[in-house]
Amino acid sequence: MPNEQGLHLRPVTAFVDLASRYESTVSVKNITRETEEVNGKSAMEMVLLEATRGSVLRIAARGVDARETVAALAALVKAGFKVDSGRHCE
């Protein structure tokens, strides 16, 4: 995870907002900490990942737009949670 602050409230909100635009269900697991999978559309569950900078996340989706969903969420994470305004979530 390239975001210096890790997965705190603002990046979680950006992730959940983007995930919620898609029909597919989204699950996320912090591979680094070996956490349980959580619902990627739930901010409360995403915070439980305890993803700090350098954490590896596995993003999975199921549904009609699963590929698009994973691609968009992976791009958000790789961009350091860069939002449309050009600012990073910090």
Is 89 inside any structural domain?
A: no
Is 22 inside any structural domain?
A: yes
Confidence (pLDDT) at 86: 47
Is 2 inside any structural domain?
A: no
Asked whether the predicted pLDDT for residue 89 surpasses 70, the reply is no
Is 17 inside any structural domain?
A: yes
Is 45 inside any structural domain?
A: yes
Is 67 inside any structural domain?
A: yes
Q: How many domains does one find in the chain?
A: 1
Give pLDDT tens digits for 1-23.
454 555 668 899 999 999 999 99
The one catalytic residue among 6, 8, 60, 80: 8
How far is CA 58 from each of CA 40, 47, 48, 51, 61, rounded to the nearest angstrom?
11, 15, 14, 11, 10
**Domain enclosing residue 13, as ranges:** 9-78
Give pLDDT tens digits for 53-85.
888 999 999 999 999 999 999 999 988 887 554
Pairing outcome for strands 57-62 and 25-30: antiparallel
Q: Domain with 16 in it: what CATH number?
A: 3.30.1340.10
Catalytic-residue membership of 88: no
